[in-house]
Amino acid sequence: MKKPFRLLICILLAATQNLQAQYYSLMSRDGQQWQVAPATENPQQGNMISQPGFRFAEGPSLLGPVAARVPATVFTSYVEAGKEEDPNVGDNIHRVDRRLYDRSFWYRTIFSVPSDFRKERVWLNMDGVNRKASVWLNGQLLGELDGFMMRGRYDITELISNENVLAILISIPQMPMSNQSSPSYICSGGWDWIPYVPGLNSGLTDKIWLSNTEAVTISNPWIRSKMLTTSQALLSAIVSLRNSASEDKLCKLEGRIMPGNICFEKELWLHSGTVTDVRFDPESFPELKISNPRLWWPNGYGDPNLYECSFTAMLDGQVSDTAVVEFGIRNYTYDVEDGVFHIKVNGVPVFVKGANWGMPEYMLRCRDEEYATKIALHKEMHFNMIRNWLGSTTDEEFYRQCDRAGIMVWDDFWLNSNPNLPYDIFAFNRNAVEKILRLRNHACIAVWCGENEGVPQPPLAGWLREDVSTFDGGDRWFQARSNANGLSGSGYWGASDERYYFLPYPCWHSESDMTLGWGFRTEIGTAVVPTYESIRKFIPEEHLWPIDDMWNLHYFGSGASNAQPEKYKQMVSAYGEPRDAADFCRKAQLVNLQSNKAMFEGWLDHMWNDASGIMTWMGQSAYPSMVWQTYDYYYDMTGAYWGCKSACEPLHILCNPATDEVKISNTSALSYHNLKAEATIYNADGSFVSRMSCCAVADAPANTTSTCFTLPMNHQRRCLSVGKPVFASSTEYGKPEDANDGTDNTRWASARNDIEWIYYDLGERQQIGQIRLNFEASFGRQFRLQVSDDAQNWKEIVKETNGHEGEMLYTFPEVEARYVRFLGVELGWWYGYSLRDFSVWGPQEPTPELSDVYFIRLRLADNQGTLLSENIYWSGKNRSDYSSLADLIPAKLHTSSK
């Protein structure tokens, strides 16, 4: 080892040891002993509880004092103490007496100040509690915390002794949770994917530690980057310095950025008892002009390069305080073109592929390195964004791991689609500011969002927008509502036939401020039953089969109706009626894979031609459940994981199941040329259907989806409506049969009213897959296409809000019905609805040479023959019957691992 390098290592080691000597963890994972006990059974004041010799009362109930886990929640500590049965299993969490935990609790610990704390001041630091806290030390009240983002930093220099008693009173969130309790973990009160958590996740929920400094301390360091070109960037820094001394101090603030060894410093006088913002800008500090910077890129577009800036406050040649900031040089830009929201990073349009996180874990037990595992799985699925839904993930480690993985974050605040305000709007706003101050250095944060599926009530909408503008400098986009104003709504949340995601655009509702189309969808998902091995861990043996209410308590039933469990069971049964839970779970993985792959491919099929991003609901599981996950609570990958991973690969070959077009989607910054795309069709017996196989040479430009060829499936449809009985609400011109005579030369027109209808009786239930309308000049601007079995109760299959003159063709996964109706809602011209044709068509007729179930294998290779993407589909003459797959000869599978 060369001497200069060895000397550098020694200096760095010495600096690290010096830095470690200034911090001392008070967390139980690092050996600190805590107790937690109900406040009602310990009515003493904090000045008594925070004295030596105090002992918590054992109490008459289950809840005497127990060893506390910190950081964690009260309920978690009692579960770990064995006072409650495993809440993951069966109905255990539903049988907990909530009254035992829905109240205030005391935390208490005893500590000594480390002997190597030799600097002037000792600080107690807290990064968050839920929901409020009164903090006492050695009989003195240090202060109050209100909200889980608020930090506490208390100067305890004058209070400490040889043995110190810290006592913290935790108050739970107020009910109702949404939005009155905010800022808080709103979903802790129960949702359609998470049970009510006793105690509402109250507790010491974030880090707590001691630090040792001189009189000047550092807070809220902020590094900003501005790119002039991809080869030149400007950095600026703002650091707050606090002088706690009784006299003015001359301080030197030093900064060093690595890699690059970029050093800068400033000397200034700090007035006693004040906080001063110190600014470094590239005009005054030319070293902050960075040539050829290592840029931070989202996953799939480049490496997520990061820099580290260390700040040191010096007094009289001695280190007073230090701080380290990790940041990325990148530039976000945004636009809303044709009503569709777009994100660019470093000038490159990024097609968003991602997932929502409801919570990292329903009892806040996900900590530290576990985030690396979760986010690594998202990266392996080729996702580039996670939506922090309702801001329910508050650990900074989440953001740190997203920075390192190149995963952008859509970051919500704590409001959910209710026209009400938090009980304390000022506490809410203070927490919003704190969130921005704490997290703004993270390169991963791409969007700040005000409310889930709603607009923040005044004055919060304006406050949040101004908070982002002021404390984040306008560097990121503020989106008031999560599913409108440039976004294309929310949902559905149930699995569907793969064609649903291609024709037309999938949306459960549309409102005037929502973009109609694929657009940018912040949440859409499917029910996802996990593997049998996982289900056995949380469903008791006696409830495994048949499906009963115990499954519903894990959100497969009425408790999660948005997941459409009955429809999901029908889709599973298409592979043959399940024999038992193991068979159900096995077949469910095929539904999971097929529907989730199609969901992402549907958006990729329309990339930049309307579609700009999609995030599945959800990416990971906070609770052992049957819905909305890719990998489950136990980290077992479901079929959804593999479907998402396939669809989202940066270079991907896909087939549109509605048009039979084979395409290449390229969600990367690299262009590919002279690729060989091929499709081969196989029958269930393995025979090769040569006539339908195709091959082509194609290019795949960066950030595009391009068409290679169309498979010659030669599907035909049969008209079901011609000559069938027809009924209309009124007739102003012609007769109702003129819309049903198989020609466009005649027409029927209704009276001039918005609400008018015409329907057919097909004579019996039939499969319907397409409806054609051909309007004369007097068209319907808004209308519904509906089906029924009794002509009384109608089910909507198409909701049109932008009708026009001429032909309108609607193709959709088959539905069975006897009656089909056009229902006008709003006229588009001066006269009544005028239809030259209203025809109903059946499903695509199968090609005779194909077996009942057949396979489509797509391969994409470069001109050297190297395989770049492979994709396999199964389809059938009757898409609701894949049962013949059970007759396939079992494959001989050989596996090995090391």
Residue pointed to by tokens 């004040």: 274
CA distances from 565 to 494, 556, 560 (A): 8, 6, 8
Which DSSP string corresponds to 551-587?
HHTTTSSGGGGGG-HHHHHHHHHTT----SHHHHHHH
pTM for this structure?
A: 0.92
The C-alpha atoms of residue 124 and residue 530 are separated, in whole angstroms, by 44
Would you call 532 helix, strand, or coil by DSSP? helix
Q: Which pLDDT value is given to residue 846?
A: 72
- Average pLDDT on 39-65 reads 89
Q: Which pLDDT value is given to residue 890?
A: 87
* pLDDT tens sequence across 221-235: 999 999 999 899 999
The C-alpha atoms of residue 365 and residue 342 are separated, in whole angstroms, by 35
Q: Which two tokens stand for residue 499?
A: 């064609």
Q: Which pLDDT value is given to residue 848?
A: 83
- Average pLDDT on 841-852 reads 86
Q: Which pLDDT value is given to residue 726?
A: 96
* pLDDT mean across residues, the chain: 94
* pLDDT tens sequence across 179-237: 999 999 999 999 999 999 999 999 999 999 999 999 999 999 999 999 999 899 999 99
Determine the straight-line distance between the first and last CA of the chain, rounded to whole angstroms: 35
- What lies within 8 Å, CB to CB, of 720 at 6+ separation is 762, 766, 768, 840, 841, 842
CA distances from 160 to 156, 164, 350 (A): 6, 6, 53
Q: Which two tokens stand for residue 481?
A: 């509502």
Residue 58 has pLDDT above 90, yes or no: no
Higher pLDDT, 889 or 758: 758
The C-alpha atoms of residue 216 and residue 206 are separated, in whole angstroms, by 25
Q: Give the confidence band of 509 by pLDDT, cuts at 50, 70, 90.
A: low
| Exposed/middle/buried for residue 85 (C-beta within 10 Å: 0-12, 13-18, 19+) | middle
Q: Which pLDDT value is given to residue 799?
A: 86
Q: Check if the beta carbon of residue 777 is closer than 8 Å to that of residue 757.
A: no
Q: Any idea which of 264-278, 343-357, 364-378, 836-850 has the lowest mean pLDDT?
A: 836-850
Q: Which 8-state DSSP code applies to residue 57?
A: -
Question: 265: part of which helix (H) or strand (E)?
Answer: strand 262-270
The C-alpha atoms of residue 563 and residue 193 are separated, in whole angstroms, by 10
Which DSSP string corresponds to 272-341?
TT-EEEEEE-TTT-GGGEEES--BB--TTTS-B--EEEEEEEEETTEEEEEEEEEE-B--EEEEEETTEE
Q: Which pLDDT value is given to residue 59?
A: 67
CA distances from 302 to 293, 348, 487, 669, 740 (A): 13, 11, 26, 8, 56
Residue 55: CA atoms inside 13 Å, Cβ hemisphere, count?
Answer: 4
* pLDDT tens sequence across 612-652: 999 999 999 999 999 999 999 999 999 999 999 999 999 99
- What lies within 8 Å, CB to CB, of 531 at 6+ separation is 585, 589, 632, 636, 638
**Three-point CA angle 428, 433, 439, nearest 5°:** 120
The C-alpha atoms of residue 374 and residue 503 are separated, in whole angstroms, by 33
Q: Which two tokens stand for residue 511?
A: 């409102």
Picking from 234, 143, 131, 134, the residue whose alpha carbon sits closest to that of residue 185 is: 131
The C-alpha atoms of residue 9 and residue 833 are separated, in whole angstroms, by 82
Q: Which two tokens stand for residue 97?
A: 């007496």
The C-alpha atoms of residue 642 and residue 652 are separated, in whole angstroms, by 14
Q: Any idea which of 245-259, 541-555, 707-721 has the lowest mean pLDDT?
A: 707-721
Q: Which two tokens stand for residue 803?
A: 């009708």
Would you call 886 helix, strand, or coil by DSSP? helix
Residue 879 has pLDDT above 90, yes or no: no
Picking from 758, 773, 759, the residue whose alpha carbon sits closest to that of residue 810 is: 773
- Average pLDDT on 803-815 reads 90
CA distances from 609 to 384, 600, 604, 702 (A): 20, 15, 10, 15
The C-alpha atoms of residue 210 and residue 218 are separated, in whole angstroms, by 15
Picking from 487, 488, 465, 485, the residue whose alpha carbon sits closest to that of residue 477 is: 465
Task: Give the ranges where 763-871 is alpha helix by DSSP (H).
Answer: none
The C-alpha atoms of residue 643 and residue 645 are separated, in whole angstroms, by 5
* pLDDT tens sequence across 1-50: 444 443 343 334 334 434 434 899 999 999 999 999 999 998 899 999 99
Strands 121-126 and 208-213: antiparallel
Q: Any idea which of 263-277, 430-444, 714-728, 739-753 has the lowest mean pLDDT?
A: 714-728
Strands 262-270 and 408-412: unpaired
Residue 106 has pLDDT above 50, yes or no: yes
* pLDDT tens sequence across 678-699: 999 999 999 999 999 999 999 9
Q: Check if the beta carbon of residue 758 is closer than 8 Å to that of residue 726.
A: yes
Picking from 709, 223, 728, 276, the residue whose alpha carbon sits closest to that of residue 443 is: 223
Q: Which pLDDT value is given to residue 61?
A: 62
Q: Which two tokens stand for residue 625?
A: 């459940």
- The sign of the CA dihedral 623, 627, 629, 632 is positive
Q: Which pLDDT value is given to residue 510?
A: 56
Within a 10 A sphere around the Cβ of 246, how many other Cβ atoms?
A: 8
Q: Which pLDDT value is given to residue 504?
A: 74
Q: Which pLDDT value is given to residue 503?
A: 81
* pLDDT tens sequence across 562-612: 999 999 999 999 999 999 999 999 999 999 999 999 999 999 999 999 999
